[in-house]
Amino acid sequence: MIKDADEIQAMHLHKGPPESVPRLILDHGYPVETHDVTTADGYILEMHRIPHGIVPGSGPGEGSKTPILLAHGLMCSSAIWVFSGPKYALAYMLADAGFDVWLGNVRGNTYSARHTKLSTDETAFWEFGIDEHGYFDAPAQIDHITATTGAQKMFYVGYSMGATMFYIMSDMRPEYRERFIAMFALAPAAQMSHTTSIFKRIADYYDFIDGFLDLFGINRLLQNSFPVKLFNYIFCSHMTIDLCKYGLLMLTGFDIMDLNQEIDDEMAPVFFKHLPAGASRHSVMQFAASVISGKFTKYDYGSFDNEHVYGQEEAPEYKIEKSTTPALIYWAENDSHTAPEDVEWIKERLPNVVEFRKIDVDGFNHLDFVWSKKAKDALYTHMLDKALILDRRNKSAS
């Protein structure tokens, strides 16, 4: 357990700014490391690692120490796995159970807005979508974990877009299909034809919104920049925090009677300091396009440009059935983003689903998977039990 600055320096830990993910982890008494990972196309991704827990039996050299990669959703960062604190957050639970916890960040978010050659002020930096997250970002982070730990197999937890990335990687990068003990999919996203979320609104006005963004050269959306931080400071302070709660939950679906039970006034300011963490225009519009098409495809440039990029008028569909990793899928009835029908679509196509579990909590919505206090008992404890069983089985077989 880390106690003072001398121990921090001795362990070569990166403390970071007061509101950073490494600082949040450190302030809760857990060890933390910051790792820079460079993708094959030059993006520099920042990963955060909790190498061990702080409860007896989970320290250095104790417990499983099997790596587990946690992949966040759209507009998110590694913060979603830790901001609710050791009592409720999944990352701390996994570390205390003996796992080596790695928190990923994809290109373009708060922690991964760097490139070996490009500046974030250049349009070329933002010319990426979910395709690149799956083809470049996830594999680079997986390779780094293996290079650092020597582990040939690991667990993968994908929340929303984090699961999307896994399906893309499984299709386009077959060499990674055997690198996982199991994949936990929390509110997974692929095609989104039944969504009633903000993506349905964007899809309804797709051509207008895409044309507007293109006309004004807007390639990044809701980056955690000064204007966003200023907005959060003014409208998401302790006095006005309910405005942010209601505004955000209107986009995700919520049970109004449980609002303050799910997001208490102490946790909310921390949450809004880390979200939104930014995304590219292409990533957002790619999800909106799937609402229209009802398909899980590569980025749709339009028939003319598709012909040039893909050699066909329609964007090619991803083959989700190529994801042969044992899959444990968790979904919620009240999830307006990844609707039950769309999660069922994923289940029907995956060849190795070992668990398909509905979260049996009234009003449980898309964001509740990573911020609700109820997620611990309704979801995380079950996931942890499954991970421990699968880990022991994998070690016995090897």
Q: Which residues are catalytic?
A: 160, 335, 366
Burial 95-133 (b: 16+ CB within 10 A, else e): bbbbbbbbbbbbbbbbbbbbbeebeeeeeebbebbbbbb
- CA dist 224 and 26 (Å) reads 22
Which two three-digit tokens encode residue 337? 């983003």
> Is residue 312 within 8 Å of 258, Cβ to Cβ?
no
CA distances from 111 to 34, 37, 79, 93 (A): 10, 11, 10, 23
The count of C-alpha atoms lying within 13 angstroms of the C-alpha of 30, restricted to the half-sphere facing its C-beta, is 30
Which two three-digit tokens encode residue 73? 């959703």
Query: What's the N-to-C CA distance of the chain in angstroms?
Result: 32
> Is residue 15 within 8 Å of 8, Cβ to Cβ?
yes
CA distances from 261 to 133, 255, 374, 378 (A): 34, 10, 9, 15
- CA dist 258 and 262 (Å) reads 6
> Is residue 306 within 8 Å of 297, Cβ to Cβ?
no
Q: Are strands 154-159 and 67-71 parallel, antiparallel or unpaired?
A: parallel
- CA dist 324 and 304 (Å) reads 34
| Burial label, 263 (beta-carbon count in 10 A; 0-12, 13-18, 19+) | buried
- CA dist 210 and 361 (Å) reads 37
Q: CA dihedral defined by 120, 122, 125, 126, rounded to 10 degrees?
A: 90
- CA dist 205 and 219 (Å) reads 18
Return the amino acid letter for 142: I
Contacts of residue 365, defined as CB under 8 A and 6 or more positions apart, other chains included, come to 249, 252, 253, 254, 255, 332, 334, 335, 336
